Amino acid sequence: MTTQTPTGPGHGSSVIGYLPLVARNRDEAHRSATPLELFFDLCFVVAVAQAGQRLVHSVAEGHFGHGIAGYLVVFFAIWWAWMNFTWFASAYDNDDVLYRIATLVQIAGVLVLSAGIARAFEGDFTVAVIGYVIMRAPLICQWLRAAAGETGPARSTALRFAAGLLIVQIGWVLLLLLPQSTWFWGFFPLAIADLAVPWIAERPHPTSWHPHHIAERYGLFTIIMLGETIAAATVAVQSALDKSSVSTLLPIAGGGLLIVFAAYWIYFAAPIHEYLASNRQGFLWGYGHYVIFASAAAIGAGLEVAVEHAVHVAHISAFAAAAAVTLPSALFLISVWMLHSRHFKSGLAEQLVLPVSAALVLACTFAGAAAVPLAGLVCVAAVALGVYLHTRPVTPP
């Protein structure tokens, strides 16, 4: 594989007119996220907020199946767009003019995708697919640039990526020409084909993604999801204050804040870059974050539903309102443990903290109006117990 001397982001250089797009060194020291990557991530805030609002509206009206299914489909589109850019950038970011322009065009595609979220929730994916076309055209060009700069197996990998993305995107566009009723049958095969492109392209020869850089990029996106949760809950409480007293909303707000704080602590307690050593581990860990990201963002939507129920706006039971918070919270805990934390736990007691806590959070659903603050206390207790077990003195046998 051809590798370039690190001269791009993170090395104190300014943007360069043109550089060959060749693989960066996987063992490069001090590799970190760039301002352009952070800018790219922030543009997803609008899309996530749109998906969350539609989920809140559906659940608050009692349309649970439609709301959850629509959210999972729409969030898949959001997450996969972020994934496509992130893993390419980890291997090939050279920060030249063409790279920056291609990234900015992809950002424009993200904004178009965001504009189509509401329609996609109702089954009209036209605008969302247009957003993907705008994103993928420059990404395919980037892979072709990489193929032009590489030789041997690395060149073949880049060409497989370009061809795979092009073929799948043509499939999405063709699906738009069919009756809307065919989307149910066409979405899942095309989604599977999309997910298979990296697996097929990298199987003979993986790209040189950087473990520390990827871990940081995923951590930053997790922070954005948790930040979106705080923002959504704050807006919900603010709008509800005109209809109810502070004493009614304070337990929900306090419990939600404890859940988010604990989620942050639990996710970042493990130095996951030490685990990301192989391509196989990277695939499982990277793809599995769909559940982590989606559940983290859904906690905010659940808190909004709980607030709406408290002020008698949501037309659902207390159990359903509580489940809107406890279900994604428990899902976050168990998915972080499965993909992330369990690799750094020693002993049965440490391993059981998060699974048992997830079960207890689910049990809080039956507490009615007290479910959210109780779930918050369970999450904080999980953090405290995890810290104690990890740092307790070990008595020699």
DSSP string, 349-368: HHHHHHHHHHHHHHHGGGGG
**10-36 per-position pLDDT tens digit:** 444 455 677 788 888 888 888 889 999
Specify whether 143 is located in the same domain as 125: yes
Mean pLDDT of the chain: 88
Specify whether 367 is located in the same domain as 320: yes
Specify whether 175 is located in the same domain as 227: no
Is 94 contained in some domain? yes
Is 20 contained in some domain? no
Specify whether 194 is located in the same domain as 250: no
Place of tokens 């919900």: 236
Q: Is residue 395 pLDDT above 60, yes or no?
A: no
Listed in sequence order, the residues at least 6 apart from 365 whose beta carbon sits closer than 8 Å to its beta carbon are 319, 322, 323, 326, 327, 371
Encoded amino acid at 236, one letter: A
Contact 340, 267 (CB under 8 A): yes
Per-residue pLDDT at 2: 37
Specify whether 278 is located in the same domain as 331: yes
Is 167 contained in some domain? yes
Listed in sequence order, the residues at least 6 apart from 389 whose beta carbon sits closer than 8 Å to its beta carbon are 347, 349, 350, 353
- Per-residue CA distances from 4 to 8, 150, 157, 216, 278 (Å): 10, 10, 17, 22, 21
Tokens in use for 22?
Answer: 């060749």
Is 5 contained in some domain? no
Is 8 contained in some domain? no
Is 224 contained in some domain? yes
Specify whether 219 is located in the same domain as 345: yes
Specify whether 54 is located in the same domain as 135: yes
- Per-residue CA distances from 278 to 75, 83, 273 (Å): 27, 18, 11
- Measured from the Cβ of residue 213, the count of other Cβ atoms closer than 10 Å reads 27
Per-residue pLDDT at 13: 46
**CA-to-CA distance for 374 and 364, rounded, in angstroms?**
6
* Stretch 81-97: mean pLDDT: 94
- Per-residue CA distances from 23 to 2, 46, 84, 275, 350 (Å): 6, 32, 16, 22, 39
Q: Is residue 396 pLDDT above 60, yes or no?
A: no
Residue that terminates a domain, selected from 202, 219, 247: 202
Residue that terminates a domain, selected from 176, 202, 228: 202
Segments forming the whole domain that contains residue 127: 35-202
Specify whether 186 is located in the same domain as 226: no
* Stretch 158-174: mean pLDDT: 96
Specify whether 197 is located in the same domain as 61: yes
